[in-house]
Amino acid sequence: MSLLNPSKGWRSSSSRLLALYSSLFVAWSCILMGVLYYEVSGYLSDLSRHSLLQRQHLFQRFDGEELVEALTTSMTFDMKGVDAYGLFDEQFRPLSGPIRAVPPDLPLDGKIYALTNCVQSDDPKLPKDSCDAVATHTEDGRWLVLVRANGSLFGVTRIIWHALLWALSLTIIPGAAGWHLLRRRPLRRIRGIQASAEAIVAGDLTHRLPLSNRRDELDMLAAIVNAMLDRIEKLMNEVKGVCDNIAHDLRTPLTRLRAQLYRIKQQAEEDSAHAVKLDDAIAETDTLMARFRGLLRISELEDHQRRSGFLVLDPLPLLRELHDFYLPLAEEGELELVLQAPDSLPWITGDRALLFEALANLLSNSIKFTPPKGKVILRAVNDLGSTRIEVLDSGPGIPAAERASVFQRFYRVDESDQQGGFGLGLSIVAAIINLHGFKLEVGTSELGGARLVLECRQQLMPE
C-alpha cells in the first residue's frame, strides 16, 4: 500500500486559497473601478455641460465688436484642444474664431449636444473626438458655436485603468511570491508526516507523527492520530503478548506430553489398537507444537529489530539455490520446475535466510498443489531497476475471492484438503515480506494456476 504524495502546484490547498483570494480581489476591484468610473464620468460630464452653459450665457450679453473682443480674450485662458469657438454670419460664413465651419451634426436650437465627431479640421489645437457643443443665435443676428472636448473623461478612464493594473500587479505578484515561500514549510511538514505514516503502514507502530511548536491545525491532527496510535499499539501488544505467552507456555507441557505418550507407546505391543491410538495422539501433539512454533516464528518476524542485520545481496544465486533445492522434489511429483532469470538482476537489501524461507514456502506450495505432469516456473525480471520475482504453476490456483485471506493465520483455501499443513505458511511469508518492505500480489498465471509476484521495492520500509 502506497500513500498519496502531497499536492503540487495549483492542486494544493494554499494554491486554491490564493486563486480564490485573487479572483475575489480582481472581481471586487473591477466592480469598484466600474462604479468609480461611472460616478466620476457622470460628474465630469455634468461639470463640462454646466461650464459650457455658463459660457453660453456669458457671451449672450455681448454683441458686435464687444462679443469678438470677449471671445478673443477668453482664448488666452482656455485650454488648447479642449475649448474652442466659432462666430458666423447669418449665411454661416466664418467671421472669427478657430472653428471655421459649423459641425454638421449640431442642431441650431441653443441646446447643448454631445457630438462624436466634433470639428473637421487639421488644426491640432481643435478638439476632434467627442465633445459637447452648442449653437447660439446672438442678438445682432450672428451664430456663435461653442465646443468643449470630453478628453478629461478619457483621461479619467486611463487613470482608473492604470490604478486597477497597478493594484492587481501589487497584489498578485507579491501574493504569488508569498504563496511560494509560505507553502514550502507546510509541504515539508506534510512530507515528514507522510514518512512517519509510511513507517506505520509498514507495520512499525512505534513511530509517531511529528509535532512542531506552532500548535496549529496540523499539530492538532497529528496529536489526535498519535493518541490513537498509542491506544492501538497498547491493544496490539496486549493481544500479541497473550498469544505469545500462550504459545510459549504451552510448548513445554506439550513437549512433556509427547514424551510421556512416546514412553507409553514403547511399552505397548507393536501394531496393537492401543499403539495405533498412541501414534494418532503423538501426531496431533506434533501438529499442535508445529502450530505454536509457527505462531512464535511470526511473532519473531514482526519484531523489526532484525532489520539491523539486513545486507545488500544478489538475488540470482539465491534463486538458483532454490531451484536446485526443489528440483528433486518436483521430479518426484512428476513436475517440470523451470528457472527463468536473466544473467544479472538488481541487488536487494534484506536477510538472505528469511528471503530463502519465504520463497521456499511459495515454491513448495506450488509444487504441492500442482498435479502430476504439471509445470512450475520460478521467474525473475528487472522491473524498472528493481527485482521482481514470480512463482507460477499450472495447479488449481487461488480463487479471486480468497486471495486477500490466504495470508491470514490458520486460513486454508480448502478445509477438506488432505495435503497437510495448518494455514501458517503464507502468514510467515507475509511477515517476512512486511519486514523487508516488499509487496506480494496474488493472481492467475498464464499456465492457468496461481501467480505470486514479489516486488522487491523497499518503498514502505521505515528508516
Q: What is the model's pLDDT at position 101? A: 86
The CATH number covering residue 256 comes to 1.10.287.130
Domain shared by 318 and 295, yes or no: no
In this predicted model, what pLDDT tens digit does every residue of 53-73 receive, in sequence order? 888 888 888 878 888 888 888
Q: Residue 450 belongs to what domain range?
A: 305-455
Give the per-residue pLDDT at 233: 80
Predicted pLDDT at 460: 45
* pTM exceeding the 0.85 threshold for the entire prediction: no
396/337 same-domain check: yes
Q: Which of 302, 323, 354 is the last residue of a domain?
A: 302
Q: State the Cα–Cα distance between residues 91 and 94, nearest whole angstrom.
A: 9
Other Cβ atoms closer than 10 A to 74: 15
C-alpha 411/C-alpha 88 separation (Å) is 113
**Which residue is associated with the grid cell 512428476?**
334
Do residues 371 and 289 share a domain?
A: no
* Dihedral angle computed from the Cα positions of residues 169, 175, 176 and 178, in that order, rounded to the nearest 10 degrees: 140
Residues 279 and 318 in one domain: no
Domain shared by 362 and 434, yes or no? yes
In the listed set 302, 323, 338, which residue is the last one of a domain according to the structure? 302
Q: Pick out the chain residues at pLDDT < 50.
A: 1, 415-418, 460-463
Task: Give the residues across from 376 on adjacent strands.
Answer: 337, 393
Backbone angles phi, psi at 268, to 5 degrees: -80, 160
pLDDT of residue 418: 46
DSSP-assigned letter for residue 10: G
Decide if 326 is inside a domain: yes
Number of domains making up the chain? 3
Of the residues 126, 149, 172, the one at which a domain ends: 149
pLDDT for the residue numbered 430 = 81
Q: How wide is the angle at C-alpha 366 spanned by C-alphas 365 and 367, nearest 5°?
A: 90
pLDDT of residue 423: 59
